[in-house]
A and B are shown apart, each in its own frame.
Chain A
């Protein structure tokens, strides 16, 4: 049965709603608007109207895998996307699954139920795209549901289920019937693609993404550089070298990598000294990527948090309010970082085994992509020094293993302070963000897009409980650390 895969993904443009919702150039986003400006991530600038991605294919062709992965990617680059899985709707309607008979094409009662489910799902799609400011919705047409059955019976039933579909399966026909539709046909797990009538930027990015992903087993290792001289004195940014403990970590990393016995491991670093020094200890070839450099803190570069709070108290407060969108004066925001890192993600998808030695903010962004974390959570993900995260793709997500290399280091993590701790009054209008300017300018800026999780998957709590005021300076919270390590082992 292996891989006669004919997975098709089709797109219908504007079928749900082409009418702009609020008029004016920005596309109906909530939040403070300013004439002539478009909001949100640059990637979502490029989508003019909502898009419905329709998955097509026989069961077991990888539709759910692609749906979830694509949704994760689109949400990460800032295009709100949600999956609507018809199987879930069907399971709601028909409380217990009996057998493949349900899927026979001549089972009239079942066909009625399935059709009704599809219509309900489409209604929800419409609500999402119109009311919840979503931009992309994906509709899955099938999903497996065999919780604890005997494996042979399961296989047997599932194969018969596929046969039911085959009777009426009409693949997309690019030469005649479907030649005016926009679609991509993925053949043999990505060996071949047929692409028809790509209409806009987002469709083009989706095609590019689908063409770069693969399903070969492999492992991605993420870690930060060893502890640096600046880490020791609490300064952010800069281009300092490793501290003695940092060099120890580099040695420990080398030993760890050797023990892992990884086939054809690629090693990537940034162009800052501390990651390169760390890689040098490994004694293997590595590639330097400028775009893996740490977030640019602009005027705050090489200051400690205390110095920043003293010299730029407003900036300091702003950052705690909206850490994802906040851009350092003359520097970058996490949102900018995500945009900058997109080619890294694309290349990581193409590659096999890779070790990425980077920085705190950068690693948070990469981790958020692999673990499907929202923009809210991303800047607070725990990425301590001298800790390696080993990511292995598993089923529809990523397994994470945290490996602490037992070399002491300072803690550079700052949790989000509780809301009352700021000087800003309650009821403050949406935060006024900074453009890339040296002189303070209040200007309404990007609005954070709401994140949506696929129907049927729960968000993973990697953060632990919110800390109180005392934790603001990043003091050690051992119980939180342990919690993180435990939870990190859960598959998505």
Chain B
């Protein structure tokens, strides 16, 4: 067979180097071409990751046994010889950019699998890549300041190395830098400065939210085919809101990144919530950042177990004592109490007397008060059981106001009682006691001290806020960092603090993992959770409408009213079709319900992939197998371009 010249650009020779010409015959297979190329360049290196890319056809020549003829390659083909894995700048859900080597030659689905394996994220099928929203702001100074974590040095073979404890990949312990990267991945970021939140792009309407979904990459094609170049920036995000089999022990990175994505979705109002919910999200963020700082490693210690153990230990120790008897034991274990002079006020009583000072005694879950300390042996003037009561703070550090508002249930209704403390110290103690008592816990409860601590740190927060700019210190967090910009306008940090504190008392005792899980649960319980919007035009309709794609259903939203007009559940779906020529989707549901629409803000492949993807997610079975049915995913999402 006749030999002809094939010119191939070898990337490793530099961009200016002329193409390398080699003499080939049409029956030479691709592997032979590569061999010749390598011999000709005379560079000694590991070429195993390299492959040929056919520029005109936008196609990799990955089947090395195929001949040039079979590929249909002639002398005019522009071929590039380059590595299949190239560096990519990857924006993580936590806002940090990572540089790593990703596959540019396999379908994006597999590329994401590879990235997730490197980052130690399980269930990569839930994530995907999308083109970032362009930052219009002047970026000269910004880009320089941005810290990029580099993972490009990680050998590609490292994924097969054994994992260390907690499923942490071995390559993260190679050096202190790598350890720092793992810490970045697995520990939540501190709350962002309010200005940072305010500067970010926020979708203002459902149509805005729809636009972001046009940016998802096609899972069945590779990065090169989608015009992604080396060192381009892409975002890694959770795409399908069906989080399967979350196991805090193995999912440290996954949970952290999921939390970060959820947190930003809340802060940027990507998903709507009520003011009460926002305060709770704020309180959880505050708690999570506080706990994450104090315990850098994600440790899900079981507090209750520890308590039990220590209680038994101390019991054991006591029993060792010589004369210990059960009754003595009982005496030594009587609950501690708080005693002090406080001022009380009952707003509901029609008196103008104001606050009156008494000697207060906090015992078990009740408050008793006496005329004076000297009379505290006798009968109290009144005893109030705080079990089941509502406790609200009314504090202003600047004006030294430390008020505890109690709403105490009684058969006749709720009684309002205010307790006024003299100083921070006293307030923290009594407030903590009231909170525990309202939950039916006594002062002897192990959480008493930590409750006091959390109250004091919150007071500190208010203090720093009242002194102008909050410094990004350990203890002080600007409460504006915890809520969306809407509330920056509505409330001053000082006004926000008590509201967040109020929500905080319900979550203050959670462990880090529990707090993260709680955040995710509340996020998932929001009515709009899991909806990905696309602007579509229904067949026969003359106006744009919005299609919401959820894990279990499709909804049709009227743009004029903003209401959900129709819901179709996937389990009533009989079949769906894509007409790739007119780019229209047609879906048939039970009971002869047929819908058809064309997609306006996203390619119909994206919509098709979303629906197929959710159906794929629902097929994941309970049996724990680590193998991902990739083939099924592509069958459900691929469309005509697949395979």
Decide whether A and B are members of one complex: no
Interface residues of A (CB under 8 A from B): none
B residues in contact (CB < 8 Å) with A = none
